[in-house]
């Protein structure tokens, strides 16, 4: 009898633990990534709504996986350039990825409505090139809904995205602005 009670308790405990563990991870499939480049020649932007992201509430792990062919440009030719081997080589590297951590997680109270500015540090992989990054982001909590916003600059040369000659070299900025929006 004692054994049965013990077993039941153990099962309940395990079930509860695994339940809490899965409840701590926030998943976002509603996202928006935007690239914005500005030069005297022209402004170019590209939008992507298909990234997937997670935040682990317990340790602050932040991950985003971005399908590169989902970036949409106004002009078809720009989109072709973007995808091509010379630039982002999206056939070889279909996804870009951020694996980071909210370094000041103690500032965030996921249970309380508010806006929490944080720093996210980690590694960003684009075009098969990985660099260490540290960027500012904002976590917001409203009616239990959690969202992440961030805006940062990306130096294309750091990711071996080089426009040496022709129109792209004069019309695309060396540093582009990236805007991230995600609801979890």
Partner 1 sequence: MTTKKKIFKILLIVIGGAVLIGGGVGYYMFNKPARDVQSTKTDFSYKASEIVNEYLADAKKANAKYLAENGESKVLEITGIVSEISEDFNNQKVILLKADGEKVGVSCTFTSETNANTLNIQIGDQVTIKGVIRSGASFDEDLDMYENVIIEKSDIVSNK
Per CB under 8 A, residues contacting partner 1 are: 25, 27, 29-32, 47, 49-50, 52-54, 63, 65, 67-70, 72, 75-77, 79-80, 82-85, 89-91, 94-95, 97, 99, 181
Q: How far is the CB of 56 from partner 1 (least distance, A)?
A: 9
Pinpoint the alpha helices (H) of 24-175: 76-83, 166-171
Sheet of strand 145-155: strand arrangement? 25-28, 52-56, 61-67, 95-102, 114-126, 129-142, 145-155, 175-183, 30-38, 43-48, 72-73
Q: How far is the CB of 67 from partner 1 (least distance, A)?
A: 4
| Collapsed DSSP state (helix, strand, coil) of residue 126 | strand
Name the residue nearer to partner 1 (CB basis): 7 or 18: 18
Q: How far is the CB of 144 from partner 1 (least distance, A)?
A: 18
Name the residue nearer to partner 1 (CB basis): 118 or 182: 182
- Residue position matching structure tokens 């996210």: 120
Q: How far is the CB of 62 from partner 1 (least distance, A)?
A: 10
Identify whether the C-beta of residue 182 lies closer than 8 Å to the C-beta of residue 28.
yes
Name the residue nearer to partner 1 (CB basis): 8 or 17: 17
């Amino acid at each position: 009898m004692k054994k049965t009670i013990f077993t039941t308790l153990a099962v309940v405990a395990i079930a509860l633990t695994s339940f809490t563990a899965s409840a701590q991870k926030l998943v976002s499939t509603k996202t928006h990534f935007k690239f914005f480049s500005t030069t005297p020649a022209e402004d170019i932007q590209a939008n992507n709504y298909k990234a997937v992201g997670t935040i682990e509430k317990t340790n602050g792990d932040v991950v985003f996986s971005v399908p590169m062919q989902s970036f949409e440009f106004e002009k078809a030719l720009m989109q072709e350039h973007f995808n091509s081997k010379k630039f982002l080589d999206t056939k070889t590297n279909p996804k870009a990825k951020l694996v980071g951590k909210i370094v000041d997680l103690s500032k965030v109270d996921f249970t309380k409505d508010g806006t929490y500015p944080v720093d996210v540090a980690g590694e960003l992989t684009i075009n098969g090139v990985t660099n260490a990054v540290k960027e500012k982001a904002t976590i917001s909590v409203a009616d239990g809904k959690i969202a992440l916003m961030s805006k940062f600059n990306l130096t294309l040369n750091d990711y071996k995205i080089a426009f040496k000659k022709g129109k792209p070299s004069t019309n695309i900025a060396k540093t582009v602005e990236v805007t991230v929006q995600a609801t979890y």
